[in-house]
Amino acid sequence: MQYLGDVSKNVEDFIRKSDQFQKACDSAFDQVNVKGLRTIPISHVALATVYFFKDVSTEVEDYGIKVKEPTADEVKKILLDNGFNEGDDVSRAEFETLYAAILKYAAVKCAVGFAQKYGMGMAIGFTAFLILKKAIRAVPGVGSAAKPFLGLLPAPLFGPLLGILGVYAADKGDLADVKLKLFGDKKGQFQSG
């Protein structure tokens, strides 16, 4: 998927161009490095996730990347995928490389969740719009009068839009915000004179 590739590229750009990634890695490493050694046990890497995302999340979002913090199990899987085993120690440089992979994972996880949520909303909106049109057509008198108008509202177009608006409204909390974003503030537009 091109979209997920773009997300990974944006994370790589952030890591390369932002000082905040380095600062967050150093801070997280230092907070879990209680013995003050050059390496930390692999078990401490998952603990550092909380500190890392606390330091970097605002900066990443300001850069235009949404992230969803991975769970401890997901971090352990990333560690295993990068060749680390239980009982290994991680140096500061390895820690930074691991957290680059963890940050990419968190961004892609968020993007996939976003796509799934809006995709599901589109499917539900399409189905709901079909059911609504069928229900209106089934009402005696109203159905025959509304049939020409309903024919102007194709379900493959308006159903997914309805679903997207529904998901957006659920995320933002109310339909008034959706109306304001779509149509602007109409107060004072028509004044009697």
Give 71's DSSP letter. Answer: P
* Residues ≥6 apart with Cβ < 8 Å to 164: 118, 121, 122, 125
C-alpha 100/C-alpha 90 separation (Å) is 14
Of 99, 107, 108, the residue nearest 21 (C-alpha):
99
Question: Residue 71 has which token pair?
Answer: 């769970």
pLDDT tens profile 132-166: 999 998 999 888 888 888 888 899 999 898 888 88
Contact 80, 45 (CB under 8 A): no
Contact 181, 140 (CB under 8 A): no
pLDDT band at 89 (very low <50, low <70, confident <90, very high): confident
pLDDT band at 175 (very low <50, low <70, confident <90, very high): low
Based on its alpha-carbon atoms, the radius of gyration of the chain, rounded to whole angstroms, reads 25
Q: How confident is the model at residue 173, as a pLDDT?
A: 67
pTM over 0.75: no
How far are the Cα atoms of 106, 149, 159 from residue 162, in angstroms, in the given order?
Answer: 29, 17, 5
Residues of the chain above pLDDT 90, percent = 9
